[in-house]
Chain A
Amino acid sequence: MSSNKSGNGGLALELRDIEVVYERRGRERVRAVAGASLSVERGQIVGLVGESGCGKSSLARTAVGLVQPAAGTVVFEGRQVTPLTRRARPRELAGLQMVFQNPYSSLNPRRKIGAQLADALDALDLVPRGGRGARVRELLELVGLPPSAAARYPHQFSGGQRQRIAVARALAAEPSVLVLDEPLASLDASAQAQVANLLVELSRRLSLSLLLISHDLAIVRHVADVVSVMYLGVMVETGPTGPLWSLPLHPYTEALIGAVPHPDGRGFLPEALPGEVPDPARPPAACRFHPRCPYAFDRCSQEEPQMLRVAAGRTVACWLQTSGGAPARPAEQAQRLPLRHAEE
């Protein structure tokens, strides 16, 4: 489904060294995102995965200007994204749109679908009044809904259909980048497949770049060209989906893939990752994953590994993968390393 598209015409969206800090009255501040970078090329689908609390939603919100980063910059089509204020969002940012997880709460229950789509068109004065009906029908058609959907209310649709409507509304602004925060969670398998297929089709057809935030690796594997893995506020690995899945370089990526259950009836019991995601207000020192990592050695608790390019298109932040030589599975690298004792 996803032919690896990459490198056609530069970056559509770039997040550089983003930090997001939440102040909490009377309690310690939380650095939900602690210096994370990510880029989406034109027409590319990038999947951002990680467990809940890893900061992926904060990063997504920062990407569209809903959250003000404490540090770092977001650049959309060569222009810096400024956080949302009381003023109208700069017109140039209309091409950067967001779709939320829950279409039940992002659609107005008391307005007809057609009216809600027309609102989106009016907000940007995109279509002369006379042309709105036609454009609304076109938007509905893009997401595979009949023109009659315009005259109905959100509650008259299934969860999957409502998510398509939310996508249609985002498309009204004629965006070049869509940021989607868990658009497939809370959908049944069949509806999930429908929406996933739709997103890929839209991306190819409209040369739309997608940043897809999801906790579901299996679906991201089917949809995304490139996957970024986040753990406790930092990026730990980025790479083209196929190679990343068949040869995960970071122990956390490996653990995430090993935890995915297989629907093949063979009774494969997925691997559990020991321990819990630590409190983001008090992250472990050095490599944030080291207390849960089966391969951790001395250096991991002393120095923070940086994202390092280890092969074509692949970056990883792990001391196991920085010792030179060809990248290999964490277990293999751990065996090769004389570092474990030599470092002392």
Chain B
Amino acid sequence: MTAVLEVEGLRVRLPTPTGFATVVDGVDYRVEPAQVFGVAGESGSGKTMSMLALLGLLPPGAVVEGRASFGGKDLLRLRGRELRAISGRDIGMVFQDPMTSLHPMLSVGRQLTEHVRRHLGLGRHAATQRASSLLEQVRIPDPSSALHAYPHQFSGGMRQRIAIAIALACGPRLLIADEPTTALDVTVQAGILRLLDSLRREFELSVVLITHDLAVMSSIADRVSIFYAGRVVESGARGEVLRHPRHPYTRALLDALPHPEVARDTPLVAIKGTPPSPQQIPTGCPYHPRCLYAIDVCITEDPPLAPVDGRRLACHVDPFDDVE
């Protein structure tokens, strides 16, 4: 199967008052057609920056290295109009807070039609029809009157559906969703997750789902990558990685989460310390100061992300090797 998106050796450095900080440090991944690819990690782990880099949305002065093949082109080599033509049409993006991505003063219809008229060259009438069917696709009740309404007239969940409709307007092959349900109530979150799941089935859409919430990732992702300090520390099939985590960090993230089905008195285990700042990444394995299993080599040598038993793992110790 050809990947929709293939990223290799992605490295992002951002200028800071004290020199460059490496926020993404050599990340590789593939997103297959009609697949939900989950990217998880704590805040500051580089998961968002690694996506913004693909769309040319990094802050000024950022230095990007690596390759990102999408539709036969390397996104990291495209500039200006060329990049916008692709990123606006073939890649859709949804952010955490729909209120910041929707224009508060423009009607929903205007925001939806502007997009398709620009990128697909549709006439006014055809564009309105398209907009209405998009709203139907994201299950907005009464799409034709919704077109005349403004973002503030909708609830948070409905706004996020509208933001998804806009992202889908030009029929993209890839949807990048950055914490799309973080600001929503669980009941509404469940609706958005179901929507994303059905869109990928109906339209063969590939989705990159960025989230700090492993439970959210567990519900719809097919493959997952766990980010730490700008690197991927473990990746593989969702069931493998989340049911039998091999990296101590993945394991620790799961142990910190309340699980609806385990006994109520199972204590939550917090990870000691805090994630490193990009200016002060520890030597060797960046996770070693917080790791319960670290040995000497972890302090000096950065473990490569290597294939092990059908997944990829960056750990010298691999302490859960035989745990099944």
Contact = CB atoms under 8 A, between A and B. Distances in A.
Interface of A: 1-3, 51-52, 158, 160-161, 188-194, 196-197, 215-219, 221-222, 241-242, 245, 255-273, 276-277
B156 A52 contact: yes
Contacts of A219: 258
B215 A263 contact: yes
A163 to B, nearest CB: 13
Contacts of B266: 1, 222
Contacts of B216: 261
Contacts of A218: 215, 257-260
Interface stretch (B57-65, B78-86, B110-118, B269-277): B269-277
B42 interface: yes
Given A190-B252, A194-B270, A262 B155 contact: no
Interface in B274-322: 274
Contacts of A277: 155
Given A52-B156, A188-B43, A269-B197, A221 B264 contact: yes
Contacts of A245: 260, 264
Given A190-B271, A267-B218, A272 B190 contact: yes
Contact of A260 (B191, B260, B264): B260
B267 A1 contact: yes
Interface in B206-239: 212-220, 238-239
Nearest to A218: B258
A259 B194 contact: no
Contacts of A256: 186-187
A189 B213 contact: yes
A196 B258 CA distance: 10
Interface string B6-41: 000000000000000000000000000000000000
B253 interface: yes
A241 B264 CA distance: 9
A245 B158 CA distance: 28
Nearest to B195: A272
Given A194-B270, A241-B264, A264-B259, A269 B187 contact: no
B235 to A, nearest CB: 13
B256 interface: yes
10 A-B pairs with the lowest CB-CB distances in the bound complex, closest first: A265-B242, A272-B191, A193-B268, A263-B215, A270-B190, A261-B215, A194-B270, A273-B187, A193-B256, A265-B243
Contacts of B241: 265
A188 B41 CA distance: 9
A3 B254 contact: no
A257 B261 CA distance: 11
B42 A190 contact: yes
Contacts of A192: 256, 268
B194 A260 contact: no
A185 B215 CA distance: 15
Contacts of B259: 218, 262-264
B202 interface: no
Nearest to A219: B258
Nearest to B156: A52
A261 to B, nearest CB: 4
Residue of B155, B189, B220, B257 contacting most chain A CB atoms (<10 Å): B257
Contact of B218 (A188, A190, A266): A266
Given A3-B265, A263-B259, A270-B190, 12 more contacts: A193-B256, A196-B268, A221-B258, A260-B186, A261-B186, A261-B190, A263-B254, A264-B243, A266-B243, A268-B218, A269-B194, A271-B190
B189 A259 contact: yes
Contact of B270 (A191, A215, A258): A191
